[in-house]
Structure 1
Amino acid sequence: MFGERVHRTRHSVEVAAPAGVVYALLADAERRPLYCPSVLHVERLDFEGPRERLRSWESAGGGIRSSFTARVRHAHERRIEFFQLRQEAPVETMGGEWTVEESAGGRSVVTVRHEFTVVGDHPDDVTWVGLVTDDNARADLESLRRIAESDLPLDDLVLSFEESVRLNGPGELVYDFLYRAADWPGLVAHVPRLELTESAPGVQVLDYDVRLPEGAVRTASSVRLCFPHAGRIVHKQTMPAVPAAAAHMGEWSVVPDEDGVRVIAQHSVLLDENALRGLPTGAAQARLALRQDIGRMSLTVLELARHHAESAVHALPRRPVPAGGPLL
């Protein structure tokens, strides 16, 4: 991007971890929602070698924005170029790069540079885009630094698992129950309060209370992206419900097959190392407890979704059988 209308920003942080560790975090696009607070969801559309095309949803100044992005990973240089192929106004163009450089004593410096233009170059829009870019860059860099500097290996910090149930009923009714989360209070025992706003079709923001297995009630918030034609709802807890979680993302999916419908709840959780230090048990026991707590709550919702679908089918009026027998 060239010309006087191009605006540039640069942000860096020093990390007490090898450059290779930091670069690996940046290169894993689909896990970025765990590592970067501003990133809500990433879908990898296609890739060829170091080139990939992504669709991303990010928080931006209190709103949610979606973009299509091309990335090129230069692993030997520990550098990632990115350029948004399609974006929302007032952003006209947005691109830049991440770089990770080795520093003394096994440390590294990670830098993100942005170049952007704004439709019409209105000063207020330029200021807004600059502020959002600055805020997100600083938050993401700080999160990457904290994760890379952890005393625990990344494999011990990230917990991924799924729960599922099978049912005999239409998948549309299961999806309907999952989509209408505003109806969960009074139905889902561990959700006593839930407020849902849908700022755009399929983009839901949830503010809710969760009753944890030990009885404590915590306030949480989530962003959900709903894809009804694919039977999917992806989510990220922007304020995790479980104390030991630093970040939590997942997906509800309704998958028909030859035997009926399978409903799956997938979870990926980044453990909060500071919270783990305050626990009398070790990291392994904390991971197991977290797995059990989240799994139990997931299964509760899945079972209710199954009951909702199967009850609706059973309640359908039956056609009377003619006196001469069934019609073939």
Structure 2
Amino acid sequence: MSVERVHRTTHEIAVAAPASVVYGIVSDAVRWPLHFPPNIHVEQLESDGRQERLRMWATANGRTKSWTSRRVLDGERRRVEFRQEQSAAPVKTMGGTWIVEPLGATESRLVLLHDFTVEGDSAADVAWVEQATDTNSRTELASLKNLAERWARLDDLVLSFEDSVRVDGPAERVYEFLYRVRDWPELVPHVTRLDVVEDEPGVQVMSMDTRTADGSTHTTESVRVCFPHAGRIVYKQTVTPALMSAHVGEWQVVPDVSGVTVTSHHGVILREENIRQVLGENADVATARAYVRGALGRNSTATLDLAKKYAEGGTCE
């Protein structure tokens, strides 16, 4: 029986923010898709406040991977240890530790350690995992630094909102409409182009052009993870419009005794440095919040109304 070598990596970054702020971002894994570019979706399967079990989806070298992990959170020492239960090939085992070291009242060092083995230990597969680990670690640390150093302003820059419609029709028909994203250019007027690849059932990688109210076109790229039995589709935009540095969302279909409620959820972080370039010299964060809320809400509501019509037996034309 072959014994694979254990490979180890270390990444670290200095952050001009209190250690408690940095640890808060690291420990809140459910919000990582909004905070860290590689993370698509995180489901917390179990938690007792100190230990948790997570199902995670993330990009690695341009491919979407999924695994389950267990984490141990130590708030006093500001450490989070993690170990994958079920890894995604070619990884055989993966674990590590987040370590937050206070350097003063407003300065910290964040260290991220990984150890992993690769099935068969082939040089090509080891190189692939090393590249993915290095790229994602650097991206996550840089994103965390950017967030933590603006922590006092995040309440202004982060938006979270939802829109809902009631449907007098079967939940399965609503979900079918939302899932059939490849047909949206024919069904949804504000979608002018959409390419989708679904190599793994329920994981859709898509590129989409949408028309805004002023007639301009925005190109976005997203990964969607579909949960048909739960009536949910979650997504992360991996290429966002100029006003957003991050955008995550969820379509949720909830039946009850009198019908179905369909809800579109959005989470956004504004790209503050682009506000005046996009909206004009007099625009500020409040202007951008209103603009993004309106634009996303109009498109979501239009799609929800079409899903309602489809489920209630009408056409989407």
TM-score normalized by the length of structure 2 = 0.94
Q: Which amino acid aligns with 2:15?
A: V
> What are the superposed Cα offsets for residues 210-232 of structure 1, whole Å, 9 maximum, x if unpaired?
11222211211000011111111
How far 1:93 sits from its partner (Å)?
A: 0.6
Alignment-derived partner of residue 53 in structure 1: 53
105-114 or 158-167, larger mean C-alpha shift: 105-114
Runs ≥4 in structure 1, deviation > 4 angstroms?
A: none
Matches within 5 A, 1:143-158: 143-150=143-150, 152-158=152-158
Aligned to 1:253: 252
The reply to whether residue 89 of structure 1 matches residue 89 of structure 2 is: yes
**Which of residues 291, 307, 311 is equivalent to 1:289?**
291
Partner of 2:76: 76
1:263 maps onto 2:262 in alignment: yes
Cα offset, 1:105, TM superposition: 6.8
- Cα-to-partner distance string for 1:51-85 (whole Å, 9 max, x where unaligned): 11000001011211111011111111111111101
| Structure 2 equivalent of residue 305 of structure 1 | 307
Aligned residue runs from structure 1 range 179-328, under 5 A: 179-240=179-240, 242-276=241-275, 278=277, 279=279, 280-311=282-313
Contact 1:17 1:107 in 2 (8 A): yes
2:246 counterpart SS class: strand
SS at match of 2:22: helix
Any unmatched runs of 5+ in structure 2? none
Once residues 273 and 78 of structure 1 are traced to their aligned partners in structure 2, the CA distance between those partners, rounded to angstroms, is 30
SS in 2 for 1:186: helix
Q: Displacement of 1:151 after TM fit?
A: 7.1
Structure 1 segments unaligned to the other structure (5+ residues): 314-328
Name the count of aligned residue pairs.
310
Q: Report how far residue 31 of structure 1 moved.
A: 0.6
Q: Is the 8 A contact 1:71 1:80 kept in 2?
A: yes
CA–CA separation in structure 1 for the residues paired with 2:193 and 2:272: 29
Structure 1 position 28 matched with structure 2 position 28: yes
| Alpha-carbon distance in 2 for matches of 1:277, 1:46 | 43
For the pair shown, the structure with the greater C-alpha radius of gyration is 1
- Tell me the residue number matched to 1:108: 108
* Distance in 1 of aligned mates of 2:16 and 2:77: 19
Rounded Cα–Cα distance in structure 1 between residues aligned with 2:89 and 2:235: 24
What residue is the counterpart of 1:316 in the other structure? none
Q: How far apart are residue 152 of structure 1 and its match?
A: 4.9
Distance (Å, rounded) in 1 between the aligned partners of 2:160 and 2:16: 26
User: Distance in 2 between the 1:262 and 1:213 partners?
Assistant: 26
Find the residue that maps to 2:99 and give its secondary structure.
strand
Equivalents in 1 of 2:216, 2:314: separation in Å?
34
DSSP-derived class of the 2:222 partner:
strand
Q: Which amino acid aligns with 2:284?
A: G
Q: Name the CA distance, whole Å, in 1 between partners of 2:213 and 2:113.
A: 44
1:62 match: 62
Q: Secondary structure at the match of 1:184?
A: helix
| Deviation of the 1:134 alpha carbon | 0.4
2:275 is paired with a residue whose SS is: helix
Q: What is the letter of the counterpart of residue 39 of structure 2?
A: V
Partner-residue secondary structure (3-state), 2:76: helix
RMSD (CA atoms): 1.6
Letter in 2 for 1:73: L
* Alpha-carbon displacement from aligned partner over 1:150-181 (angstroms, at most 9, x marks no partner): 27522222211111100111111111110011
Deviation at 1:276, TM superposition (A): 3.4
**Preserved CA contact (<8 Å) 2:4 2:119:** no
Secondary structure in 2 aligned to 1:300? helix
Q: What is the TM-score of this pair, normalised by structure 1? A: 0.91
Q: 1:163-178 to 2 correspondence within 5 Å?
A: 163-178=163-178
CA contact 2:236–2:249 (8 Å) conserved in 1 = yes
Residue 46 of structure 1 aligns with an amino acid whose one-letter code is E
Q: How far does the alpha carbon of each residue in 1:101-123 deviate from its partner, in whole angstroms, 9 at most, with x for none? A: 12257221111110001111111
- Which whole-Å CA distance do the structure 2 matches of 1:311 and 1:181 have between them? 19
* 1:287 partner amino acid: R
Once residues 4 and 91 of structure 1 are traced to their aligned partners in structure 2, the CA distance between those partners, rounded to angstroms, is: 11
Q: Describe how 1:4-43 pairs up with structure 2 within 5 A.
A: 5-43=5-43
Report deviation, 1:277: 5.8
User: SS at the partner of 1:106?
Assistant: coil
* Structure 1 position 243, deviation (Å): 2.4
For residue 25 of structure 1, give the secondary structure of its aligned residue in structure 2. helix
The share of aligned pairs that are identical, in percent, is: 50
* Aligned counterparts of 1:50 and 1:286: Cα–Cα separation in 2: 38
Residue 308 of structure 2: SS of its match in structure 1?
Answer: helix
Amino acid at match of 1:33: P
